[in-house]
Structures are given as C-alpha cells and as structure tokens.
Chain A
C-alpha cells in the first residue's frame, strides 16, 4: 500500500486515540505500526503530520509494538529514518530520538544484545557530550536542543535501567563543569550517581574511581553494561518513601568508600547543589529528592552538605520545593533540622495553607502536610493524622473551618478543629462559649441548616454527613460533643426526612458511641409522628434500619397507621422491610396480627404473599432460626416479584443442605432378648448436633421398613447412650442398612448427610426361645428337633475349635441360646430366627481341634448362612 494522505492519517489517528483498544482490535489495527514507520520516510507527508505520527509512537508503543522483537525492529527503523534525514533543519530529529528511546525502554528491548541499543546509546552519548557527529546530524543550530534531548533520553534510560550510565559518571561530571548547571544534565548526573551508589552498596563494592574516570572509558570501545546488569534485579525508586525506606533496604551503610572516593563524592554533590538555585523550582526539587536519598544512611557523609541550601529552602514559596524540603526533613530529621527550623517550617506551612494568593489544591496539600508533618520527635503513633506538637493553638486559629469554605477545605480544617477539641478536653475546662468545642457545634449546626434546605444540592447534605462522621470518629470519647450532635441530627431528620439514605449510611459507619443514641433518637422521631404521606417512604426506610425490640407498641402503631397509606408496590415493600427488621429483632405477638392483616389487606398480590410468608415464618420458626433465616441481606428485588428475591435470600437458610456426616455410627454388642432383634448403635459425634433424626433404609427389603431414631442433642466429648434400632426381618437373612442423618447446626441451618451403611449380620438376628422349666429342657429341645422334619433340613458340620476349647466358644457366642449343657463336651442349642424360623444345634463329643455339629432347621434357606456362621466362630475367637 502506498503512503496514506494527510487526511487519512488525521482520521486514523483520531479513531485510534478515541479508543486504542477498539482500534487495535479492528481491521486497521494490525497494520498501524508498520504503516506508521514506513510513512515517516514518505516524502509526500509534511513534517507536522510526521510529528503527529511520532507523538503516537511516544504514547502508545505498547499497542503499536507489543513485544520486545517488534520494539527492537521499530527502534531500528526509527534510527534509520533519523540517519536518512537530509542535513537541513528539521523538526523530526528530536521526536525521533525520543521515540526510539521510548520504543526500547517501554518495549523491554534495551539490552547489550539489542542492535538498536548498541546504535542508540553511543549516538545519545555523542550528542550529549557535544561531539561533532558530522553533517548528518543536522545544522549547528540544532545541536544544542538535540544535546538537551540526548540528556533527557539518557536520563529516562537510566531510570528504566539503573546503572546504565554508571560508567559515564566521570564524563558527565566533566560535562557539567564545562556546560554549567544545565537542567537535564544536572538531573542526569544526580540520578546516575544515586543509582551507582545503591548498586555498589548492594554489591559491597566502592565507587571504584567511577567519578574520576574520563571520557575515555566509553570511547571507541563498547558500552559498559556492568553496573546495569548488577542493577537489573531492582528498579531503583528515585525517591523512596519514608518510613518504608529503612536503612536495610535502600541504605548505603554497606558502601565502603576510600577517603579519596568520599572526597570526590562530596565534591560532586556540592557541585550539583551549589548551582542548583539556577534551576527551575521543579528541577531543583527533583535534585533534592534524588540527592537526599542518595546520601541518606551513607557512612561518613553527614547531611551538612544540604545546610547552605536550607536558608533558601525554608523560605521558599514553591510547592515542589517545600515538598522536597519536607522530604529532606523526613530523611534526616534532627541531623539537618533544628527545633527552630521545625517551628519556621510549620509557620510557613500554616500561612501557605491559607494564603489567598494560592489556589485551593495547594491549600489542601499544605493542610495535609501539616496533619502529617514529619516531626523530629513525634509523640503519637506513625501513620495517624495529628497536629504537630510545635503547632500552637494560636497558629491553628487561622486554619479553622467556616461555612464559607469549599467542602474539601472545610473537611480538612474540621479535622484540625477536632484535634484542637481533643487537646482542649485534656486541658482544664474553659468558659463554655469561647471553647473550640462551642465553635464546632455552631459550625455543625450551620452545616445542618444548609443540608435541611429542600431544594439544596445533594452535595450539601453529603458534606453535612461527612462532617458529622468525621467529628464522631475523632471525638468518639466526648459525650459533650456527641449529645448535641445526636439531637441536631434528629432535628435535621425531622425537617428533611428525604435525607433518610444519608442517615442509614451514617448509622452503618459510625462507632457505637454515636450509633446507639442516634438510632434511638431517630426511631422516636419516626414513630412519634403520624407519617405524612409524602415522607412515608423515607420514614419506612429509616425505620427498617432503626427498629428493634424496644418501643414495640409505638412502632407497631406507626406501622398500622402507615399500612393504610401504602398503596403502591414500593411503599408496601418498604413496609414489609420494616416488618422483616422486627421479625429479626424477635418482635412477636403484635407483629403477627399486623402481618395477618397485611396478608389480607394489601392490594398487590406480591405484597400479600410476602406478608403471608413472614407470618408463616413467624408462626413456625423459633426466634434464633428466624434470625438466621432472615439474616442474609435481601437480594435486590427481582422485577417480577419481591418474594423471589426474598427467597433467594433465605432459601439457603430454610432449605435442607447437604453436609459431611457429623456423626459416626457403629453396631454395638448384641442384646439377644425380647420379641424382636434390636441393634444397639454406638454414636460418636464430631460437632454439636441438634434435633438429630437418623433414617434407615433396608436394602432389598429384607426387613420391614425401619422407624427413624431421634436424638435431641449431641455434643462432642459428652457420653452418649446407645441407640436401639428394632428390626423386623421378613426373612432371616443379613442385610445392609443405608443411613441418612437430618439435623440442625448450632448456627440454625438444617442439614442432611449420608452415613456409611450399617451391616446386620446373621447372628444379629438370633433370639432365644423362652426357657422351659429345669426338668423339661431336654424334652423341649427334642420336641423342637423332631418338629423340623420333614419340612425342614438336616445337616452335619465340622466346627473347628481354637485352643480355648468348646466351653469358651459356647459361652462367648451361644450362651443365651443353650437349652441343655453338659460342659465341657456337649451342648444343645435352640435359636429363634424371626420372623418364624428356628435353628437347632447339637454340639456333642468335642475333640481337641473341633466339634461335630448336627443341625436342624425348619427353613432350608438358612443352611448356607449357618455354615458360614459356624465356620467363622473359631476365627472370631
């Protein structure tokens, strides 16, 4: 594509600037960077257009060339364009240098490996040192501006890559001596010096003659990247903050300077400082920040070098210089500033903070500096705003707020007034009328009067509440201030209920010292009136925040009266929100009547449903549960129904939630008594559980459905009685029971959990026959034995015995079922198997390793179970 015309470029640049991200995402985005670089060499475009193109390169390199290789290529192209310029005056050289520097620094392409870096750096240094670079670098008239630009570019590169110019310190010093206190050069030297000091300190090295090395260090040879590579790990703050910048981190204590190096360093700093008054105030300030932090903590370099500057600096009217002076004060404190200096600085700040010739932002900044003044001997904790000790109350008087001040100035000054009131409190009580506290009250009253204006802008109301908040925050411990404040605010509400949202916000944010009395006062304010219709929605909004269990009847009376006026959906919702607040506060009886009435009376079906829901909740849930159910804040009302929103809010609280099992169940010892088998369940509980209900389901329906087991309360660490679970087998067979637990947590949530299944074994079902009289036992057994056939089955088994013998085995497993015993060799055992089967065992003629068992049953299906059971007995021990 050929070069674009002027118009096209103007359009394109306009579209890009309107939204760079949108443009780059569009069809033209991809080509922009490439077109721009190629059109810079087009002869059809005028210089102003090209300057506009370069301005874009200066601002948006990251968008045009998003990665390091692209940035490298762009910088190379820009440098080529620069070299190709004809040797007549041109407005492009300067922006081309700036753009190449920007592309390399912002694109992360600055490195020894980068070809563009290897071209740009010597070029800049050549221009900076005033060397003749030949006619290609433009006419002589441009040399000086280009020299200044080169200094600027080098300074930016040094900022982005600390240590880059560490090898040029000697050269820069010599240049400064030759050129005089030229602004960018002074700042460049100061920055390079500061960075070199920090990097060498970190490496534990000295200055190694860097300050005295001549031009030759760089000439001819390649660029010296040594310091830059060492400094690469950390970007250096040019003015690290106090108090974060403690010695350890940025300190230079580790720097070892030889006496000669120390002398050279002092000479360099003095060279920079002595001529600094010739620089513009902003440049002076930068120099002071840089050198101040360069020397801080450097051993054997007292800040006395700054002393001659102080005479000038303490009297400065320049914002940046005063700020830099405060920074020096913070850095060196007593070592540089006497108590008299401190008083003088405070006096100047005080005057500057109210000087009519200065603009408001400056006033505000100075006020901020006063409240955060870096004192030599601060009393309070750091980080909190406080009036400096040496700032007497007399000096403060001019800084006190009045209604005529701008909001921000008023708030800043109000803070100072609060601090004065605090001091006043600590001193003896003075005459009422003269105290700052009295003045404070008058001021707050004035603010409230303005906020009460019906047609007043919201900003006035906001200011009044901000001031009230500030006062409540600063003077929380002073009832003498808070009481009239509470009354005044209540009166403000009376005059302009439309401020209700501001009141709710204030209540949400102030501490309990104001919150409690104000809440009570506002509740009284609302419920003591009939509720005029136009203000009703504000009263209801207010009441929803301030209503609680107190003054129930007055609150309910108000709501009864209000209900008749709540004709639209919004008002009804507001009314219901108050009911909700009362529900949460545990208000009972009267509220139920009201809710019932609302459920009938409200016109809107949504409102009716809502009221009914509350009524049901009130009637069915206990207090704490109700609190939890309504606890989460109401979701934003959905368009369709407020009930939906409400449900979203507490559905979680009212619905049963799945949770990990809070209890562990196990089957305890067998009971073998009673008409049906009963499982004894041992419970181990991991967390407090209330209203526990255990539900069991028998797999394959082997037993009749089981009833649930209820436990009111279980706490970990407290002994629990076993739970009894009666079984009603349909067949005498073992089974698996699935178990679920349903319970309440201490926070009021209802949860359910799946527990591991329980196993009911064959033996768990065994029941004894009723014992016949002593003499009739053998007959009883024989009768049972005979009755099994022919319907049943007979079998013989070998039951292995352990070392303990038959007697131990029987007493451990079969004791309840033995009908006739001839220990230790013969036992007759009769077992009832519910629902209606029997199992009869003859264990006779035991041998050392086992006993033959003859068995009969009337249910042939149990035979395999019996076999397994008997064979397992010896293994069970």
Chain B
C-alpha cells in the first residue's frame, strides 16, 4: 500500500523535452522492500530524466507523432486504465499510475508486494487506489484557488513539506493535503485539546460551516425521431427530473462555401428565468476562418470570433416573455489553414453542435435545498452556518439535426 516514488510533471508541448519535472519524491525504504518482494522481476525507479521521457512517450505527449511507432501505436498495445508499464532501458517499470490534468501530469509507482512476472491483477494491489488517492490529493491541493504561475510555484514549494507530513515514508495518511498545511502552520498550544483523530495539530480560526448544493446539468439534444434526447443532473443529491431546462434545435445546411444555420431555444416554464449568464457557443470545426456572417437574432447579441471559427450568442440574464428565442444566419469561410483553425474528430462533414453555457444561482432543478436553520453542529462554539445552491450547465449539447450525431447506447430508441 506504499508508494515507491511520486512525480509532478508539467506538460509543455513545443519544448525539446515536452515536459519538465516540477516535483519528485522517492521513498528508499519502500524501494528496499520492492527489491525483496519483486525478486528477479525488480526494476529500480529511474532518475527523473529517463522517467520523464518514458512517461511522455507512453502517454503520447511527445510532439513527434508523424511516424508509426510499433511500441506506441501497435493495435495490441491497449491500455484501459491509467496504469502503465514504462520501458526503462531493456526492462519495464510497472505499475506506473499516471494521468494528465490541466497541463500537469501526476504520476506515482505503487509498491507491489510480490513478484511482477506474471503481472498480478491490478485489483489485488492495494497501492493502486492509494496512489490514485495521493495524486488526487496533490491535484486538489494544487488546483484549489490557483490562479497564476506564482501561486502554483508557491504551492509546489509547499508540497515537499506537506508530503513529509502526510506521507513521510510513502504510505499515505491523509489525502487532504490542505488539512496538513493547516497543521504545519499551527500555533503552539499549552495544553492538549480533544481533536479529530486525523489531525495532529489544532485549527485556529472562526468556526463556520458552509453548505452548498451545486447541480450540474448535462444534455444531448438531437431533434430526431429515432434518437431520444438525454439529460442528467448531478449534484449532492441526485434524483429524476422531468425536463431539461432549455430545449432547442439546431439545423445546419451547407451550400457551397456557405453554411446556413438556424437555432431555436426554449426555456422551460418551470425553470427560474434569472441567469447569472447564458450563452450559446456555436463552433465550426475543420473549416477555414469565418470571413463573413449575416444573421438575424430574435434576442441577445452575436459575437464573432473569426480566427477561432466560433460564434457566441450572448443571451444574457433573462429569456424574453415568450420564453423562446431564435437565431438564423449565413456564414462564409475562408481557406482552411490546419495550424490555426480548430480540429475536431467528431464534427466531420455535417456533424455539428452548439453548446449552452449558463448558471442560475439560488436554484436547483431538483428543488433540493438546505434549510439553514435545521443544520445542527455537534461541537463546542457556535459556527456560522451558510448555505448556497446553484445550477450549472455542464455538457449541454444541441446537435445539428440535419446530419449524423454521436449517439450513446442509452439514447437509441429500442
């Protein structure tokens, strides 16, 4: 259940190595155990340089994709989990838990307490989920409140101390690194207090409890007979919802160099008509830049991003009384330039979508809320209690109904 080493690597396409090791930590006592347990199949953890190279190759993050490489592109080289075997010299380092998130690669090597050949089933290795939890913890810590590079660097510099606290010998104690940061900065106390078991320090500050409900709504709308529209609300509480908040259709017709589009959106009458914002993004992939747009919108404004081949229909804070709005127009494109215009692997031919982005505060589709006065806290002191709720569009797509669209198995009307 221990880790042999941990890395944070920033992915930097375009640079010679395509990445930089931002942080690494090795656990020699665990490595010593690995040597005994793995016996003849033991492969030592490599130094940062070779590890970086092998990992980026395996994750397909090197810029060089031009030629077919059997060790990377072979059809039988199938990975169905975020756990990899990395070629190191003539041997293979396995298992390496790794994933890319927001330009940062998180990686660790869990200890396997037996021979590695034949490979034991992943599910039998306790260090795998522990490794994931450690990496997620680091990721949460880095991404919380992080806005710029300076802040990121500050957090990276704290990481070494934090791991010394929560994972001094490679066995993780607490995946919530922020807890530990609070502990490092603890003020001295003269007498021991009763405190939660996972905290060795004491928290100083105003007691407060914040409860918020955030619901995310996904939707896929096709405007087709044989395909059912889908929607899904995810939040603290999940329950069935009878309708998606905004129903609509999107039609695209190609006429020589021009595209004719028609969009219609309707807000459901049960939904609170008060948005923090509401926009429809209409991207055009695999084409040249937009050179000319003629349009008619019944409501809101249209912004044109020519180089990005993107239209943004800003609907604003409210739908009109009719609850229904429409946009139609003709778009002309210039010559395609592969480097600049966006490529998409789904939107081929007529396949196209518009994506809705909106947020409604103090509202949930499910009607779920927290009653501030009913919250009880069993602790000394009176914490301040605040509650919030909001609805956010997550993956809210309306597909062009005049062309094929990717379908999930569930939406096929069987």
A106 contacts B32, C-beta separation under 8 Å: yes
Query: Which residues of chain B come closer than 8 Å to A327, judged between CB atoms?
Result: 124, 126
Given A183, A326, A356, which contacts B218 in the complex, CB threshold below 8 Å?
A356
Q: What's the minimum C-beta distance from A581 to chain B, rounded to whole angstroms?
A: 19
Which stretch (A237-245, A258-266, A337-345, A794-802) binds chain B?
A237-245
A509-B74 in contact given A237-B113, A359-B101, A372-B123 (Cβ < 8 Å): yes
Query: Which residues of chain B come closer than 8 Å to A509, judged between CB atoms?
Result: 74-76
Q: What's the minimum C-beta distance from A237 to chain B, rounded to whole angstroms?
A: 3
Q: What's the minimum C-beta distance from B98 to chain A, rounded to whole angstroms?
A: 9
Query: Which residues of chain A come closer than 8 Å to B174, judged between CB atoms?
Result: 183, 280, 282-283
Q: Which residue of A lies closest to B189 (CB)?
A: A141
CA distance A470 to B74 in the complex (A): 12
Q: What's the minimum C-beta distance from A150 to chain B, rounded to whole angstroms?
A: 11
Which stretch (B297-305, B378-386, B401-409) binds chain A?
B401-409
A360 contacts B28, C-beta separation under 8 Å: no
CA distance A148 to B134 in the complex (A): 20
CA distance A187 to B161 in the complex (A): 22
A98 contacts B75, C-beta separation under 8 Å: no
A361 contacts B32, C-beta separation under 8 Å: no
Query: Which residues of chain A come closer than 8 Å to B129, judged between CB atoms?
Result: 285, 319-320, 322-324, 365
Q: What's the minimum C-beta distance from B306 to chain A, rounded to whole angstroms?
A: 21
Given B70, B123, B218, B346, which contacts A374 in the complex, CB threshold below 8 Å?
B123
Given A94, A239, A283, A456, which contacts B173 in the complex, CB threshold below 8 Å?
A283
A159-B68 in contact given A19-B47, A282-B130, A365-B129 (Cβ < 8 Å): no
A181 contacts B197, C-beta separation under 8 Å: yes
A278 contacts B1, C-beta separation under 8 Å: no
Which stretch (B163-171, B203-211, B259-267) binds chain A?
B163-171
A720 contacts the other chain (CB 8 A)? no
B123 contacts A369, C-beta separation under 8 Å: yes
Q: Which residue of B lies closest to A446 (CB)?
A: B406
A506-B75 in contact given A408-B80, A458-B68 (Cβ < 8 Å): yes
A241 contacts B125, C-beta separation under 8 Å: yes
Q: What's the minimum C-beta distance from A36 to chain B, rounded to whole angstroms?
A: 15
Given A141, A402, A408, which contacts B409 in the complex, CB threshold below 8 Å?
A402
A568 contacts the other chain (CB 8 A)? no
Query: Which residues of chain B come closer than 8 Å to A364, judged between CB atoms?
Result: 80-82
Given A55, A187, A408, A505, which contacts B75 in the complex, CB threshold below 8 Å?
A505
A152 contacts B169, C-beta separation under 8 Å: yes
Q: What's the minimum C-beta distance from B59 to chain A, rounded to whole angstroms?
A: 11
Q: What's the minimum C-beta distance from A325 to chain B, rounded to whole angstroms?
A: 11
Q: Which residue of A lies closest to B198 (CB)?
A: A280
Query: Which residues of chain B come closer than 8 Å to A58, judged between CB atoms?
Result: 28, 164, 168
B196 contacts the other chain (CB 8 A)? yes
CA distance A279 to B175 in the complex (A): 12
A356-B168 in contact given A282-B175, A404-B408, A509-B74 (Cβ < 8 Å): no
B76 contacts A238, C-beta separation under 8 Å: no
A183-B197 in contact given A159-B33, A240-B113, A408-B82 (Cβ < 8 Å): yes
A557 contacts the other chain (CB 8 A)? no
A159 contacts B188, C-beta separation under 8 Å: no
Query: Which residues of chain B come closer than 8 Å to A238, judged between CB atoms?
Result: 1-2, 113, 126
CA distance A461 to B69 in the complex (A): 12
CA distance A832 to B412 in the complex (A): 106
Which stretch (A220-228, A447-455, A751-759) binds chain B?
A447-455
Query: Which residues of chain B come closer than 8 Å to A750, judged between CB atoms?
Result: none
Q: Which residue of A lies closest to B201 (CB)?
A: A145
A486 contacts the other chain (CB 8 A)? no
Q: What's the minimum C-beta distance from A41 to chain B, rounded to whole angstroms?
A: 21
Which stretch (B114-122, B147-155, B288-296) binds chain A?
B114-122
A408 contacts B171, C-beta separation under 8 Å: no
Which stretch (A59-67, A74-82, A559-567, A633-641) binds chain B?
A59-67
B189 contacts A449, C-beta separation under 8 Å: no
CA distance A118 to B122 in the complex (A): 40
Q: What's the minimum C-beta distance from A405 to chain B, rounded to whole angstroms?
A: 9
Query: Which residues of chain A come closer than 8 Å to B175, judged between CB atoms?
Result: 280-282
CA distance A393 to B156 in the complex (A): 46
B345 contacts A434, C-beta separation under 8 Å: no
A286 contacts B114, C-beta separation under 8 Å: no
A501-B68 in contact given A237-B114, A281-B133, A357-B234 (Cβ < 8 Å): yes
CA distance A383 to B134 in the complex (A): 28
A397 contacts B68, C-beta separation under 8 Å: no
Q: Which residue of B lies closest to A400 (CB)?
A: B409
B311-340 vs A, Cβ < 8 Å mask (1 yes, 0 no): 000000000000000000000000000100
A468 contacts the other chain (CB 8 A)? yes
Q: Which of B29, B60, B338 has the most CB of A within 10 A?
A: B29
Given B123, B126, B188, B408, which contacts A368 in the complex, CB threshold below 8 Å?
B123
A403 contacts the other chain (CB 8 A)? yes
B367 contacts the other chain (CB 8 A)? no
Given A89, A324, A356, A408, which contacts B394 in the complex, CB threshold below 8 Å?
A356
Q: What's the minimum C-beta distance from A737 to chain B, rounded to whole angstroms?
A: 51
Q: Which residue of B lies closest to A19 (CB)?
A: B47
Query: Which residues of chain A come closer than 8 Å to B196, judged between CB atoms?
Result: 278
A141 contacts B121, C-beta separation under 8 Å: no
The tally of residues in B whose CB lies under 8 Å from a CB in A reads 91
B40 contacts the other chain (CB 8 A)? no
Given A94, A359, A505, which contacts B73 in the complex, CB threshold below 8 Å?
A505
Task: Using C-beta atoms within 8 Å of the partner chain, give the interface range for chain A.
Answer: 35 or more
B132 contacts A319, C-beta separation under 8 Å: yes
Q: What's the minimum C-beta distance from B214 to chain A, rounded to whole angstroms?
A: 10
CA distance A361 to B348 in the complex (A): 28
B127-164 vs A, Cβ < 8 Å mask (1 yes, 0 no): 01110111010000000000000000000000011001
Given A181, A286, A402, A450, which contacts B345 in the complex, CB threshold below 8 Å?
A450
A565-587 vs B, Cβ < 8 Å mask (1 yes, 0 no): 00000000000000000000000
A136-173 vs B, Cβ < 8 Å mask (1 yes, 0 no): 00011100110011001101100110000000000000
Which of B8-30 touch A at CB < 8 Å?
24-29
A113 contacts the other chain (CB 8 A)? no
B63-93 vs A, Cβ < 8 Å mask (1 yes, 0 no): 0011110101111111111100000000000
B410 contacts the other chain (CB 8 A)? yes
A193 contacts the other chain (CB 8 A)? no
A382-406 vs B, Cβ < 8 Å mask (1 yes, 0 no): 0100000000000001101011100
Q: What's the minimum C-beta distance from A754 to chain B, rounded to whole angstroms?
A: 39
A465-B75 in contact given A156-B169, A457-B65 (Cβ < 8 Å): yes
Using A89-B188, A506-B75 as known contacts, list a sample of 10 further A-B pairs with CB atoms less than 8 Å apart, ordered by residue number in A.
A101-B169, A102-B28, A155-B169, A159-B2, A238-B1, A241-B121, A286-B130, A323-B126, A359-B101, A400-B409
User: What are 28 A-B contacts with C-beta separation under 8 Å?
Assistant: A55-B160, A62-B31, A94-B164, A106-B31, A156-B168, A159-B2, A159-B29, A159-B171, A187-B171, A278-B198, A285-B129, A319-B133, A320-B132, A323-B129, A324-B129, A356-B394, A357-B216, A359-B136, A361-B132, A364-B82, A383-B121, A450-B345, A457-B65, A458-B66, A458-B73, A459-B60, A459-B65, A505-B68
Q: Which residues of A contact B (CB under 8 A)?
A: 17-21, 51, 55, 58-62, 89, 94-95, 98, 101-102, 105-106, 108, 139-141, 144-145, 148-149, 152-153, 155-156, 159-160, 180-184, 187, 235, 237-242, 244, 275, 278-283, 285-286, 289, 319-320, 322-324, 326-327, 330, 355-357, 359-362, 364-365, 367-369, 372, 374, 383, 397-398, 400, 402-404, 408, 411-412, 415, 434, 436, 439, 442, 446, 449-450, 453, 455-462, 465-466, 468-470, 501-502, 505-506, 509-510
Q: Which residues of B contact A (CB under 8 A)?
A: 1-2, 24-29, 31-33, 36-37, 47-49, 60, 65-68, 70, 72-82, 97, 99, 101, 113-114, 120-126, 128-130, 132-134, 136, 160-161, 164, 168-169, 171-176, 183, 188-190, 192, 196-198, 200-201, 216, 218, 232, 234, 286, 338, 343, 345-346, 348, 394, 406-410, 412, 414
**Which 6 A-B pairs have CB atoms at the shortest separation, nearest pair first?**
A237-B113, A241-B124, A501-B68, A323-B129, A141-B188, A361-B82
